[in-house]
Chains A and B, each alone.
Chain A
Amino acid sequence: MKKILMCGNEAIAEAAIIAGCRFYAGYPITPQNELPSYMSKRMPEVGGIFIQSESEISAINMVFGASLTGIRAMTSSSSPGISLKQEGISYLAACELPAVIVNIMRGGPGLGNIAPSQSDYFQATKGGGHGDYHTIVIAPASLQEMADLTILSFDLADKYRTPVMILGDGILGQMMAPVEFKSLKPKVESFGKKDWILDGCKGRKPRIIRSLLLAEGELERLNLKLQKKYNEIKDKEQRCEVLYGDDSEIMLVAYGTSSRISRSVIERLRKTGKKIGMLRPISLWPFPEKELKRVAKRAKAFLVIEMSCGQMIEDVKLAIDCARPVYFYGRTGGEIPSEEEIIKTIEDKTRS
Protein backbone atom coordinates (compact mmCIF):
# COMPACT_ATOMS: atom_id res chain seq x y z
CA MET A 1 0.00 0.00 0.00
CA LYS A 2 1.36 3.39 -0.84
CA LYS A 3 1.94 6.20 1.55
CA ILE A 4 -0.79 8.79 1.86
CA LEU A 5 -0.82 12.34 3.11
CA MET A 6 -3.03 12.80 6.12
CA CYS A 7 -3.17 15.16 9.03
CA GLY A 8 -2.33 13.79 12.46
CA ASN A 9 -5.90 13.93 13.70
CA GLU A 10 -7.04 11.80 10.77
CA ALA A 11 -4.15 9.37 11.20
CA ILE A 12 -5.19 8.73 14.81
CA ALA A 13 -8.79 8.23 13.73
CA GLU A 14 -7.97 5.77 10.94
CA ALA A 15 -5.55 3.86 13.19
CA ALA A 16 -8.28 3.65 15.85
CA ILE A 17 -10.60 2.07 13.30
CA ILE A 18 -7.85 -0.44 12.41
CA ALA A 19 -7.37 -1.10 16.13
CA GLY A 20 -11.00 -2.17 16.27
CA CYS A 21 -12.39 0.94 17.95
CA ARG A 22 -16.12 0.90 17.26
CA PHE A 23 -17.36 3.63 19.56
CA TYR A 24 -16.38 7.27 19.41
CA ALA A 25 -17.97 10.17 21.25
CA GLY A 26 -16.65 13.71 21.22
CA TYR A 27 -17.45 17.38 21.22
CA PRO A 28 -15.81 19.79 18.74
CA ILE A 29 -12.82 21.90 19.71
CA THR A 30 -9.89 23.25 17.68
CA PRO A 31 -7.23 21.96 16.91
CA GLN A 32 -8.57 18.39 16.96
CA ASN A 33 -11.75 18.76 14.88
CA GLU A 34 -10.50 16.63 11.99
CA LEU A 35 -10.59 13.63 14.33
CA PRO A 36 -14.35 13.60 15.10
CA SER A 37 -15.01 14.75 11.55
CA TYR A 38 -13.15 11.73 10.16
CA MET A 39 -14.86 9.43 12.66
CA SER A 40 -18.29 10.72 11.68
CA LYS A 41 -17.60 9.45 8.17
CA ARG A 42 -15.68 6.26 8.91
CA MET A 43 -17.57 4.83 11.89
CA PRO A 44 -20.83 4.20 9.98
CA GLU A 45 -18.77 2.56 7.20
CA VAL A 46 -17.38 -0.04 9.60
CA GLY A 47 -20.58 -0.54 11.58
CA GLY A 48 -19.36 1.47 14.55
CA ILE A 49 -20.97 4.28 16.46
CA PHE A 50 -20.13 7.95 16.20
CA ILE A 51 -21.78 10.41 18.54
CA GLN A 52 -21.28 14.13 18.66
CA SER A 53 -22.23 14.55 22.27
CA GLU A 54 -23.71 17.61 23.92
CA SER A 55 -20.57 18.19 25.96
CA GLU A 56 -17.12 16.80 26.73
CA ILE A 57 -18.42 15.44 30.02
CA SER A 58 -21.13 13.40 28.37
CA ALA A 59 -18.64 12.14 25.77
CA ILE A 60 -16.28 10.67 28.37
CA ASN A 61 -19.21 9.10 30.23
CA MET A 62 -20.52 7.60 27.00
CA VAL A 63 -17.07 6.10 26.53
CA PHE A 64 -17.33 4.73 30.09
CA GLY A 65 -20.64 3.08 29.20
CA ALA A 66 -19.36 1.70 25.90
CA SER A 67 -16.17 0.35 27.47
CA LEU A 68 -17.97 -1.68 30.11
CA THR A 69 -19.75 -3.58 27.38
CA GLY A 70 -16.36 -4.69 26.09
CA ILE A 71 -16.20 -2.56 22.97
CA ARG A 72 -13.05 -0.56 22.16
CA ALA A 73 -14.00 3.05 22.80
CA MET A 74 -12.40 6.45 22.35
CA THR A 75 -12.90 10.14 22.85
CA SER A 76 -10.78 13.13 21.88
CA SER A 77 -10.55 16.80 22.70
CA SER A 78 -8.10 19.61 23.31
CA SER A 79 -6.86 21.07 26.58
CA PRO A 80 -9.95 22.86 28.05
CA GLY A 81 -12.16 19.98 26.92
CA ILE A 82 -9.80 17.45 28.48
CA SER A 83 -10.07 19.29 31.80
CA LEU A 84 -13.81 18.67 31.66
CA LYS A 85 -13.23 14.96 31.09
CA GLN A 86 -11.04 14.44 34.14
CA GLU A 87 -13.78 13.26 36.47
CA GLY A 88 -14.76 10.60 33.95
CA ILE A 89 -11.14 9.51 33.49
CA SER A 90 -10.84 9.06 37.26
CA TYR A 91 -13.95 6.85 37.18
CA LEU A 92 -12.51 4.82 34.30
CA ALA A 93 -9.30 4.27 36.28
CA ALA A 94 -11.25 3.29 39.41
CA CYS A 95 -13.43 0.83 37.51
CA GLU A 96 -10.44 -0.48 35.58
CA LEU A 97 -12.05 0.23 32.25
CA PRO A 98 -9.97 0.45 29.09
CA ALA A 99 -10.42 3.55 26.96
CA VAL A 100 -8.31 5.81 24.76
CA ILE A 101 -8.46 9.56 25.30
CA VAL A 102 -6.75 11.87 22.82
CA ASN A 103 -5.56 15.31 23.89
CA ILE A 104 -4.34 17.54 21.05
CA MET A 105 -3.01 20.25 23.33
CA ARG A 106 -3.51 23.97 22.78
CA GLY A 107 -2.32 27.01 24.71
CA GLY A 108 -3.62 27.47 28.24
CA PRO A 109 -4.49 28.11 31.00
CA GLY A 110 -8.17 28.93 30.74
CA LEU A 111 -9.67 28.97 27.29
CA GLY A 112 -6.20 30.06 26.16
CA ASN A 113 -5.73 30.00 22.40
CA ILE A 114 -5.80 27.41 19.65
CA ALA A 115 -2.05 27.32 18.97
CA PRO A 116 0.05 24.20 19.72
CA SER A 117 1.23 23.69 23.29
CA GLN A 118 2.58 21.09 25.72
CA SER A 119 1.33 22.63 28.91
CA ASP A 120 -0.96 19.75 29.93
CA TYR A 121 1.96 17.48 30.85
CA PHE A 122 1.31 17.70 34.58
CA GLN A 123 -2.40 17.05 34.13
CA ALA A 124 -1.80 14.08 31.87
CA THR A 125 0.99 12.34 33.76
CA LYS A 126 0.18 13.02 37.41
CA GLY A 127 -3.39 11.76 37.41
CA GLY A 128 -5.43 14.68 36.22
CA GLY A 129 -8.60 13.86 38.09
CA HIS A 130 -9.07 13.01 41.76
CA GLY A 131 -7.70 9.99 43.55
CA ASP A 132 -4.60 7.78 43.54
CA TYR A 133 -4.38 6.84 39.89
CA HIS A 134 -2.37 7.19 36.72
CA THR A 135 -3.23 6.95 33.07
CA ILE A 136 -0.69 5.62 30.61
CA VAL A 137 0.39 8.61 28.51
CA ILE A 138 1.74 8.11 25.00
CA ALA A 139 3.42 10.95 23.08
CA PRO A 140 3.80 10.54 19.31
CA ALA A 141 6.22 12.81 17.42
CA SER A 142 5.48 12.02 13.79
CA LEU A 143 2.52 11.22 11.58
CA GLN A 144 3.54 7.57 11.40
CA GLU A 145 3.69 7.44 15.18
CA MET A 146 0.27 9.06 15.42
CA ALA A 147 -0.96 5.92 13.66
CA ASP A 148 1.33 3.26 15.18
CA LEU A 149 1.02 4.46 18.76
CA THR A 150 -2.76 4.71 18.55
CA ILE A 151 -2.86 0.97 17.95
CA LEU A 152 -0.44 0.45 20.83
CA SER A 153 -2.64 2.63 23.06
CA PHE A 154 -5.71 0.49 22.47
CA ASP A 155 -3.65 -2.63 23.16
CA LEU A 156 -2.22 -1.22 26.39
CA ALA A 157 -5.67 -0.09 27.52
CA ASP A 158 -7.03 -3.61 27.13
CA LYS A 159 -3.95 -5.34 28.46
CA TYR A 160 -3.95 -3.40 31.72
CA ARG A 161 -7.65 -2.44 31.82
CA THR A 162 -6.78 1.20 32.20
CA PRO A 163 -7.43 4.49 30.41
CA VAL A 164 -4.63 5.52 28.05
CA MET A 165 -4.06 9.09 26.92
CA ILE A 166 -2.49 10.03 23.59
CA LEU A 167 -0.86 13.39 24.13
CA GLY A 168 -0.21 15.43 20.98
CA ASP A 169 -0.29 19.11 20.18
CA GLY A 170 -1.84 21.41 17.59
CA ILE A 171 1.04 20.97 15.17
CA LEU A 172 0.95 17.17 15.25
CA GLY A 173 -2.82 17.23 14.91
CA GLN A 174 -2.92 19.68 12.02
CA MET A 175 0.15 18.91 9.94
CA MET A 176 0.03 16.52 7.03
CA ALA A 177 2.89 14.16 6.30
CA PRO A 178 3.22 10.72 4.73
CA VAL A 179 1.74 7.83 6.68
CA GLU A 180 1.41 4.13 5.96
CA PHE A 181 -1.17 1.79 7.45
CA LYS A 182 -0.23 -1.52 5.87
CA SER A 183 1.68 -3.16 8.70
CA LEU A 184 -0.56 -2.00 11.52
CA LYS A 185 -2.31 -4.71 13.44
CA PRO A 186 -3.84 -4.69 16.89
CA LYS A 187 -2.90 -7.44 19.33
CA VAL A 188 -6.42 -7.68 20.68
CA GLU A 189 -6.70 -11.48 20.46
CA SER A 190 -3.75 -12.10 22.72
CA PHE A 191 -5.47 -10.59 25.76
CA GLY A 192 -8.12 -13.28 25.92
CA LYS A 193 -11.83 -12.86 26.28
CA LYS A 194 -13.00 -9.97 28.41
CA ASP A 195 -14.52 -11.84 31.32
CA TRP A 196 -15.50 -8.76 33.28
CA ILE A 197 -17.84 -6.97 30.90
CA LEU A 198 -21.52 -6.29 31.30
CA ASP A 199 -23.14 -8.18 28.45
CA GLY A 200 -26.27 -9.60 30.07
CA CYS A 201 -26.15 -11.99 33.04
CA LYS A 202 -28.63 -14.57 31.84
CA GLY A 203 -27.32 -17.92 33.03
CA ARG A 204 -24.46 -16.50 35.09
CA LYS A 205 -23.86 -14.48 38.23
CA PRO A 206 -24.36 -10.72 37.74
CA ARG A 207 -21.20 -8.63 37.51
CA ILE A 208 -20.94 -5.24 39.12
CA ILE A 209 -18.74 -2.36 37.92
CA ARG A 210 -18.69 0.63 40.24
CA SER A 211 -16.33 3.02 41.96
CA LEU A 212 -18.31 3.78 45.11
CA LEU A 213 -16.75 1.49 47.71
CA LEU A 214 -18.05 2.21 51.20
CA ALA A 215 -17.32 -1.00 53.08
CA GLU A 216 -14.44 -0.85 55.52
CA GLY A 217 -11.10 -1.49 53.83
CA GLU A 218 -12.69 -2.00 50.43
CA LEU A 219 -11.35 1.17 48.83
CA GLU A 220 -7.85 0.69 50.19
CA ARG A 221 -7.83 -2.80 48.73
CA LEU A 222 -8.78 -1.36 45.33
CA ASN A 223 -6.05 1.25 45.59
CA LEU A 224 -3.41 -1.29 46.51
CA LYS A 225 -4.51 -3.43 43.58
CA LEU A 226 -4.27 -0.42 41.26
CA GLN A 227 -0.81 0.43 42.60
CA LYS A 228 0.37 -3.10 41.94
CA LYS A 229 -0.82 -2.71 38.36
CA TYR A 230 0.84 0.71 38.01
CA ASN A 231 4.12 -0.74 39.28
CA GLU A 232 3.92 -3.48 36.69
CA ILE A 233 3.28 -0.87 33.98
CA LYS A 234 6.22 1.21 35.23
CA ASP A 235 8.39 -1.85 35.05
CA LYS A 236 7.34 -3.08 31.62
CA GLU A 237 6.04 -0.21 29.53
CA GLN A 238 8.70 2.53 29.57
CA ARG A 239 9.32 3.65 26.03
CA CYS A 240 11.71 6.14 24.52
CA GLU A 241 14.02 6.84 21.61
CA VAL A 242 17.64 7.65 22.30
CA LEU A 243 19.66 9.61 19.76
CA TYR A 244 23.49 9.50 20.10
CA GLY A 245 23.22 8.08 23.62
CA ASP A 246 26.69 6.54 23.65
CA ASP A 247 28.95 9.54 23.24
CA SER A 248 26.85 12.58 24.10
CA GLU A 249 27.95 14.98 26.77
CA ILE A 250 24.81 17.07 26.51
CA MET A 251 21.48 15.31 26.28
CA LEU A 252 18.34 17.11 25.23
CA VAL A 253 15.10 15.70 26.58
CA ALA A 254 12.01 16.51 24.57
CA TYR A 255 8.82 14.88 23.31
CA GLY A 256 6.32 15.53 20.54
CA THR A 257 6.81 18.68 18.49
CA SER A 258 9.66 20.01 20.64
CA SER A 259 11.55 16.76 19.98
CA ARG A 260 11.24 17.38 16.23
CA ILE A 261 12.87 20.77 16.58
CA SER A 262 15.47 19.37 19.00
CA ARG A 263 16.36 16.61 16.52
CA SER A 264 17.08 19.21 13.89
CA VAL A 265 19.25 21.15 16.36
CA ILE A 266 21.22 18.01 17.19
CA GLU A 267 21.93 17.19 13.54
CA ARG A 268 23.12 20.78 12.99
CA LEU A 269 25.40 20.79 16.03
CA ARG A 270 26.75 17.29 15.34
CA LYS A 271 28.05 18.64 12.03
CA THR A 272 30.15 21.11 14.05
CA GLY A 273 31.53 18.29 16.19
CA LYS A 274 29.47 18.90 19.31
CA LYS A 275 28.74 15.76 21.32
CA ILE A 276 25.04 16.21 21.75
CA GLY A 277 22.14 13.80 21.72
CA MET A 278 18.56 13.39 22.78
CA LEU A 279 16.33 11.19 24.85
CA ARG A 280 12.81 11.38 23.53
CA PRO A 281 10.20 9.93 25.87
CA ILE A 282 7.49 8.07 23.96
CA SER A 283 5.68 7.04 27.12
CA LEU A 284 5.39 10.09 29.38
CA TRP A 285 3.83 7.89 32.02
CA PRO A 286 5.49 5.61 32.79
CA PHE A 287 8.41 8.01 32.39
CA PRO A 288 11.45 6.32 30.79
CA GLU A 289 13.60 6.70 33.90
CA LYS A 290 15.67 3.53 33.35
CA GLU A 291 17.06 4.84 30.04
CA LEU A 292 17.57 8.31 31.50
CA LYS A 293 19.60 6.85 34.36
CA ARG A 294 21.67 4.95 31.85
CA VAL A 295 22.49 7.93 29.64
CA ALA A 296 23.17 10.05 32.75
CA LYS A 297 26.28 7.93 33.37
CA ARG A 298 27.85 9.47 30.31
CA ALA A 299 26.09 12.81 29.87
CA LYS A 300 27.45 15.80 31.75
CA ALA A 301 24.25 17.85 31.56
CA PHE A 302 20.66 17.70 30.42
CA LEU A 303 18.60 20.34 28.66
CA VAL A 304 14.84 19.88 28.68
CA ILE A 305 12.92 21.51 25.81
CA GLU A 306 9.17 21.97 26.23
CA MET A 307 6.33 24.07 24.90
CA SER A 308 5.48 24.98 28.48
CA CYS A 309 7.09 26.80 31.39
CA GLY A 310 8.77 23.59 32.54
CA GLN A 311 6.79 20.53 33.56
CA MET A 312 8.56 17.41 32.30
CA ILE A 313 11.82 18.82 33.71
CA GLU A 314 10.66 17.67 37.15
CA ASP A 315 10.49 14.05 36.01
CA VAL A 316 13.95 14.33 34.43
CA LYS A 317 15.42 15.58 37.71
CA LEU A 318 13.66 12.84 39.68
CA ALA A 319 14.73 10.12 37.27
CA ILE A 320 18.43 10.95 37.64
CA ASP A 321 18.20 11.98 41.32
CA CYS A 322 19.58 15.40 40.31
CA ALA A 323 22.94 13.73 39.68
CA ARG A 324 23.58 16.09 36.74
CA PRO A 325 22.62 19.69 36.08
CA VAL A 326 19.26 19.86 34.32
CA TYR A 327 18.62 23.05 32.34
CA PHE A 328 15.44 24.19 30.69
CA TYR A 329 14.30 26.08 27.66
CA GLY A 330 10.66 26.50 26.79
CA ARG A 331 8.14 28.71 25.08
CA THR A 332 4.61 29.00 26.30
CA GLY A 333 1.17 30.30 25.39
CA GLY A 334 1.10 28.55 22.02
CA GLU A 335 4.59 29.62 20.89
CA ILE A 336 7.12 27.18 19.45
CA PRO A 337 10.82 27.19 20.36
CA SER A 338 13.04 27.89 17.36
CA GLU A 339 16.21 26.00 16.51
CA GLU A 340 18.21 29.18 16.98
CA GLU A 341 16.82 29.76 20.47
CA ILE A 342 17.69 26.22 21.50
CA ILE A 343 21.21 26.50 20.08
CA LYS A 344 21.76 29.76 21.94
CA THR A 345 20.60 28.14 25.18
CA ILE A 346 23.03 25.26 24.63
CA GLU A 347 25.87 27.72 24.01
CA ASP A 348 24.99 29.74 27.11
CA LYS A 349 24.78 26.73 29.38
CA THR A 350 27.93 25.01 28.17
CA ARG A 351 30.14 28.10 28.13
CA SER A 352 30.44 28.41 31.88
Chain B
Amino acid sequence: MGGRGDGKGIPHRYIQRCSVKEEIIFAGFGGQGIMLMGKALAYAAMNNGRHVTWMPSYGAEVRGGTAHSMVIISDEIIASPVVKEPTICVVMNRPSLQKFETRVKKGGFLIVNKSLIDIDAARNDIDILNIPATNMASELNSLKSANMIILGALLAKRSIVSLESLIDALKDALSVSNYNMIPINEKAIRKGFEYGSR
Protein backbone atom coordinates (compact mmCIF):
# COMPACT_ATOMS: atom_id res chain seq x y z
CA MET B 1 0.00 0.00 0.00
CA GLY B 2 1.26 3.45 -0.90
CA GLY B 3 1.56 6.66 1.07
CA ARG B 4 -1.09 7.88 3.38
CA GLY B 5 -0.09 11.48 3.46
CA ASP B 6 3.07 12.84 4.93
CA GLY B 7 1.26 13.69 8.13
CA LYS B 8 3.30 16.84 8.63
CA GLY B 9 1.61 19.18 11.06
CA ILE B 10 -1.38 16.92 11.35
CA PRO B 11 -2.45 15.54 14.71
CA HIS B 12 -1.73 11.83 14.89
CA ARG B 13 -5.30 10.91 15.79
CA TYR B 14 -6.46 11.99 12.37
CA ILE B 15 -4.08 9.66 10.58
CA GLN B 16 -5.20 6.81 12.77
CA ARG B 17 -8.84 7.45 12.02
CA CYS B 18 -8.37 7.99 8.32
CA SER B 19 -6.73 4.62 7.88
CA VAL B 20 -10.01 2.90 8.70
CA LYS B 21 -12.94 4.34 6.85
CA GLU B 22 -14.21 7.70 5.69
CA GLU B 23 -17.70 8.27 4.35
CA ILE B 24 -17.89 11.62 2.65
CA ILE B 25 -20.66 13.75 1.18
CA PHE B 26 -19.88 16.65 -1.14
CA ALA B 27 -22.89 18.91 -1.61
CA GLY B 28 -23.60 22.13 -3.45
CA PHE B 29 -25.43 23.36 -6.50
CA GLY B 30 -24.90 22.23 -10.06
CA GLY B 31 -21.81 23.81 -11.64
CA GLN B 32 -19.77 24.00 -8.43
CA GLY B 33 -17.81 20.90 -9.39
CA ILE B 34 -19.38 18.72 -6.72
CA MET B 35 -19.03 15.53 -8.76
CA LEU B 36 -15.42 16.32 -9.72
CA MET B 37 -14.20 16.88 -6.18
CA GLY B 38 -15.52 13.49 -5.15
CA LYS B 39 -13.98 11.86 -8.17
CA ALA B 40 -10.56 13.47 -7.67
CA LEU B 41 -10.39 12.35 -4.05
CA ALA B 42 -11.63 8.85 -4.92
CA TYR B 43 -8.98 8.53 -7.63
CA ALA B 44 -6.24 9.67 -5.27
CA ALA B 45 -7.32 7.13 -2.67
CA MET B 46 -7.61 4.37 -5.27
CA ASN B 47 -4.10 5.14 -6.52
CA ASN B 48 -2.99 4.67 -2.90
CA GLY B 49 -4.40 1.16 -2.83
CA ARG B 50 -7.60 1.89 -0.98
CA HIS B 51 -11.05 0.55 -1.72
CA VAL B 52 -13.20 3.38 -3.02
CA THR B 53 -16.71 3.98 -4.26
CA TRP B 54 -18.25 7.11 -5.70
CA MET B 55 -21.96 7.57 -6.03
CA PRO B 56 -23.83 10.54 -7.46
CA SER B 57 -27.20 11.76 -6.30
CA TYR B 58 -29.35 10.96 -9.27
CA GLY B 59 -32.74 11.71 -7.79
CA ALA B 60 -35.12 14.35 -9.07
CA GLU B 61 -33.45 17.47 -7.72
CA VAL B 62 -34.97 20.92 -7.31
CA ARG B 63 -33.56 23.60 -9.60
CA GLY B 64 -31.24 25.81 -7.55
CA GLY B 65 -31.23 23.16 -4.85
CA THR B 66 -28.54 20.67 -4.04
CA ALA B 67 -26.62 18.05 -5.92
CA HIS B 68 -24.33 15.76 -4.04
CA SER B 69 -21.85 12.96 -4.50
CA MET B 70 -20.92 10.33 -1.96
CA VAL B 71 -17.44 8.89 -1.60
CA ILE B 72 -16.37 6.01 0.61
CA ILE B 73 -12.69 5.33 1.21
CA SER B 74 -11.84 2.22 3.17
CA ASP B 75 -9.23 -0.42 3.83
CA GLU B 76 -11.95 -3.04 3.57
CA ILE B 77 -14.36 -4.02 0.80
CA ILE B 78 -17.18 -1.50 0.66
CA ALA B 79 -20.72 -2.85 0.94
CA SER B 80 -23.12 -0.12 -0.07
CA PRO B 81 -21.84 3.06 -1.70
CA VAL B 82 -24.70 5.04 -0.19
CA VAL B 83 -23.61 7.37 2.63
CA LYS B 84 -26.26 8.02 5.23
CA GLU B 85 -24.18 9.47 8.09
CA PRO B 86 -21.06 11.10 6.65
CA THR B 87 -17.86 11.24 8.70
CA ILE B 88 -16.89 14.20 6.52
CA CYS B 89 -19.33 16.54 4.84
CA VAL B 90 -18.63 19.45 2.52
CA VAL B 91 -21.41 21.99 1.97
CA MET B 92 -20.89 24.53 -0.78
CA ASN B 93 -24.20 26.38 -0.55
CA ARG B 94 -26.91 27.14 2.00
CA PRO B 95 -29.50 24.51 0.98
CA SER B 96 -26.77 21.88 1.33
CA LEU B 97 -25.97 22.97 4.87
CA GLN B 98 -29.64 22.82 5.77
CA LYS B 99 -30.02 19.40 4.22
CA PHE B 100 -26.88 17.67 5.51
CA GLU B 101 -25.78 19.29 8.78
CA THR B 102 -27.97 17.06 10.93
CA ARG B 103 -26.77 13.95 9.11
CA VAL B 104 -23.07 14.35 9.94
CA LYS B 105 -21.88 11.59 12.24
CA LYS B 106 -21.18 12.59 15.83
CA GLY B 107 -17.50 13.51 16.04
CA GLY B 108 -17.45 14.03 12.28
CA PHE B 109 -16.15 16.94 10.26
CA LEU B 110 -18.15 19.60 8.44
CA ILE B 111 -16.64 22.05 5.93
CA VAL B 112 -18.74 25.12 5.20
CA ASN B 113 -18.23 27.40 2.19
CA LYS B 114 -18.64 30.59 4.17
CA SER B 115 -18.65 32.80 1.05
CA LEU B 116 -22.06 31.55 0.01
CA ILE B 117 -23.57 30.54 3.33
CA ASP B 118 -24.71 33.40 5.56
CA ILE B 119 -25.86 31.25 8.44
CA ASP B 120 -23.80 29.36 10.99
CA ALA B 121 -23.72 25.64 11.47
CA ALA B 122 -25.32 24.87 14.83
CA ARG B 123 -23.84 21.48 15.77
CA ASN B 124 -21.41 21.41 18.68
CA ASP B 125 -20.63 17.69 18.60
CA ILE B 126 -18.67 17.85 15.33
CA ASP B 127 -15.59 19.66 14.00
CA ILE B 128 -16.51 22.57 11.77
CA LEU B 129 -14.27 24.45 9.36
CA ASN B 130 -15.66 27.68 7.93
CA ILE B 131 -13.77 28.66 4.80
CA PRO B 132 -14.50 31.53 2.39
CA ALA B 133 -13.75 29.26 -0.55
CA THR B 134 -15.58 31.15 -3.29
CA ASN B 135 -13.92 34.44 -2.28
CA MET B 136 -10.54 32.74 -2.19
CA ALA B 137 -11.23 31.30 -5.63
CA SER B 138 -12.05 34.73 -7.02
CA GLU B 139 -8.68 35.92 -5.72
CA LEU B 140 -7.22 33.30 -8.05
CA ASN B 141 -9.44 34.64 -10.85
CA SER B 142 -11.04 31.23 -11.05
CA LEU B 143 -14.42 31.13 -9.35
CA LYS B 144 -14.91 27.53 -10.37
CA SER B 145 -11.94 26.33 -8.36
CA ALA B 146 -13.65 26.87 -5.01
CA ASN B 147 -14.18 23.11 -4.97
CA MET B 148 -10.42 22.48 -5.15
CA ILE B 149 -9.74 25.03 -2.41
CA ILE B 150 -12.06 23.06 -0.18
CA LEU B 151 -10.43 19.76 -1.11
CA GLY B 152 -7.06 21.20 -0.13
CA ALA B 153 -8.44 22.39 3.20
CA LEU B 154 -10.03 18.99 3.77
CA LEU B 155 -6.68 17.26 3.34
CA ALA B 156 -5.03 19.66 5.76
CA LYS B 157 -7.49 18.55 8.44
CA ARG B 158 -7.93 14.92 7.47
CA SER B 159 -4.96 13.38 5.76
CA ILE B 160 -6.80 10.77 3.75
CA VAL B 161 -4.22 11.02 0.98
CA SER B 162 -1.19 13.24 0.54
CA LEU B 163 -1.50 16.61 -1.12
CA GLU B 164 0.71 15.39 -3.95
CA SER B 165 -1.35 12.31 -4.68
CA LEU B 166 -4.48 14.46 -4.90
CA ILE B 167 -2.75 16.76 -7.37
CA ASP B 168 -1.55 13.74 -9.36
CA ALA B 169 -5.10 12.38 -9.41
CA LEU B 170 -6.37 15.45 -11.27
CA LYS B 171 -5.03 13.84 -14.44
CA ASP B 172 -7.25 10.83 -13.80
CA ALA B 173 -10.33 12.74 -12.75
CA LEU B 174 -10.31 15.34 -15.52
CA SER B 175 -10.85 14.51 -19.16
CA VAL B 176 -7.86 15.22 -21.42
CA SER B 177 -9.64 18.19 -22.94
CA ASN B 178 -9.63 19.84 -19.50
CA TYR B 179 -5.96 19.25 -18.75
CA ASN B 180 -5.31 22.98 -19.22
CA MET B 181 -7.24 23.42 -15.95
CA ILE B 182 -4.73 21.38 -13.96
CA PRO B 183 -2.34 24.25 -13.02
CA ILE B 184 -5.09 26.48 -11.65
CA ASN B 185 -6.65 23.55 -9.81
CA GLU B 186 -3.28 22.68 -8.29
CA LYS B 187 -2.85 26.28 -7.16
CA ALA B 188 -6.30 26.21 -5.59
CA ILE B 189 -5.64 22.93 -3.80
CA ARG B 190 -2.42 24.33 -2.31
CA LYS B 191 -4.13 27.54 -1.26
CA GLY B 192 -6.89 25.58 0.47
CA PHE B 193 -4.34 23.32 2.14
CA GLU B 194 -2.53 26.36 3.50
CA TYR B 195 -5.77 27.76 4.86
CA GLY B 196 -6.67 24.47 6.49
CA SER B 197 -3.21 24.10 8.02
CA ARG B 198 -3.43 27.44 9.83
Contact = CB atoms under 8 A, between A and B. Distances in A.
B58 A257 contact: no
Contact of B46 (A5, A175, A257, A263): A5
B55 A175 contact: yes
B166 interface: no
Interface string A218-262: 000000000000000000000000000000000000000100110
Interface of B: 39, 42-43, 46, 51-56, 58-60, 76-82, 172-173
A174 B51 CA distance: 17
Given A5-B39, A175-B55, A263-B77, 16 more contacts: A3-B46, A5-B43, A114-B60, A115-B59, A171-B82, A174-B55, A175-B53, A176-B42, A176-B53, A176-B54, A176-B55, A177-B54, A178-B46, A178-B52, A260-B79, A264-B77
A339 interface: yes
Interface in A201-228: none
A318 interface: no
Contact of B172 (A4, A114, A267): A4
11 contacts: A3-B46, A5-B43, A5-B54, A114-B58, A177-B78, A177-B81, A178-B46, A260-B79, A261-B79, A261-B80, A264-B79
A175 B57 CA distance: 10
Contacts of A175: 53-55, 81
Interface string A258-277: 00110110010000000000
A176 B45 CA distance: 13
Contacts of A30: 58
Nearest to A33: B58
A255 to B, nearest CB: 14
Nearest to B60: A114
Contacts of A114: 58-60
Contacts of A264: 77, 79-80
A171 B172 contact: no
A336 interface: yes
A337 B102 CA distance: 22
A177 B80 contact: no
Given A260-B79, A261-B79, A336-B80, A174 B58 contact: yes
Nearest to B39: A5
Contacts of B39: 5, 176
Contacts of B80: 171, 257, 260-261, 264, 336
Contacts of B52: 5, 177-178
A28 interface: no
A261 B77 CA distance: 10
A29 to B, nearest CB: 12
A163 interface: no
B79 A263 contact: yes
Given A5-B46, A5-B172, A171 B79 contact: no
B14 to A, nearest CB: 25
A330 interface: no
Nearest to A3: B46
A129 interface: no
Contacts of B53: 175-177
A176 B82 CA distance: 11
Nearest to A170: B58
Closest 9 pairs (CB-CB, A-B): A264-B79, A176-B54, A175-B81, A175-B55, A260-B79, A261-B79, A177-B53, A178-B46, A175-B53
